[in-house]
Amino acid sequence: MCKNGNSWRDLPDCFPPWQTVYWYFRKWNNEGVYDLIVNELRVFQREKVGKHQTPSAAIIDSQSVKNTSFSTQEVGVDGGKRVKDRKRHIVTDTLGNLLAVKVHAANVHDSKSAQLVLAKMVENSADFPRLKKIFADKGYRGNLLHWVKKHLKCELEIVKTYSKLANNGKMLVSPKRWVVERSFAWLNHYRRLSKDFERLTDNSECFIKIAFIRLFIKKLKN
């Protein structure tokens, strides 16, 4: 479903009734099963490339995505794009692996909504004992710097961003932040995530986790 964008009612006949599958989908999400799988696979992936099990640095960014008529919970107008949609907020390590995700209305400014996704890291702070720095763009300036220092005991560093092309006509890459931009690009390969088709934002977050689980498995197999 996540990769090809099938609807619940169009599940193949080899599956149980779609209502049963959806019930377990919700149950496992509420019980944190997908979070556990993401965390375990992230550890394996980091070890495979010679990194420590837990990251010392992270990157935060958001992506606005168009919603559909089914997306009725937490929808707002993005002032910059003037489109009614939702916003995906993710935190990754320096390899682009998912650390936390939060989906919310797009009319909430990044500096405020960032606390929603970072609060999830506060709840699971035992998974990030070495975290010392979080990289972000200038949209995260303000009170968030003090919030991060107080609740996560680490530094929020605002990195330089480029809005112009280089002299040779190529787009300049923003230091550090290109990693999280690449993670968003990975999600674009999943039809279920091309727009936000979910009625509940919890389901939107869950499909993002499932996409990263699939990415982890592919990386570990190679």
pLDDT tens profile 82-96: 566 888 999 999 999
Can you tell me the distance from the alpha carbon of 179 to that of 174, in angstroms, rounded to the nearest whole number? Answer: 9
Predicted pLDDT at 78: 60
CATH topology of domain 8-221: Nucleotidyltransferase; domain 5 (3.30.420)
Which structure tokens are listed for 166?
A: 């280089």
Asked whether the predicted pLDDT for residue 172 surpasses 70, the reply is: no
Predicted pLDDT at 80: 59
Mark 129-162 as b/e (b = at least 16 C-beta within 10 Å): eebebbbbbebbeeebbebbeeebebebeeeeee
Backbone angles phi, psi at 147, to 5 degrees: -65, -45
Of 9-13, 100-104, 171-175, which has the strongest mean pLDDT?
Answer: 100-104
> By percentage, how much of the chain surpasses pLDDT 90?
59
Asked whether the predicted pLDDT for residue 50 surpasses 60, the reply is: yes
Backbone angles phi, psi at 129, to 5 degrees: -70, -20
Lowest mean pLDDT among 13-27, 58-72, 163-177: 163-177
- Please check whether residue 68 is in contact with residue 195, taking contact to mean a CB–CB distance below 8 angstroms: yes
Picking from 37, 113, 25, the residue whose alpha carbon sits closest to that of residue 74 is: 113
Asked whether the predicted pLDDT for residue 219 surpasses 70, the reply is: yes
Asked whether the predicted pLDDT for residue 110 surpasses 60, the reply is: yes
Asked whether the predicted pLDDT for residue 71 surpasses 70, the reply is: no
Question: What's the pTM?
Answer: 0.89
Residue predicted with more confidence, 123 or 109:
123
Q: What is the mean pLDDT of the chain?
A: 87
Alpha helices by DSSP H, 73-127: 110-123
Can you tell me the distance from the alpha carbon of 84 to that of 161, in angstroms, rounded to the nearest whole number? Answer: 26
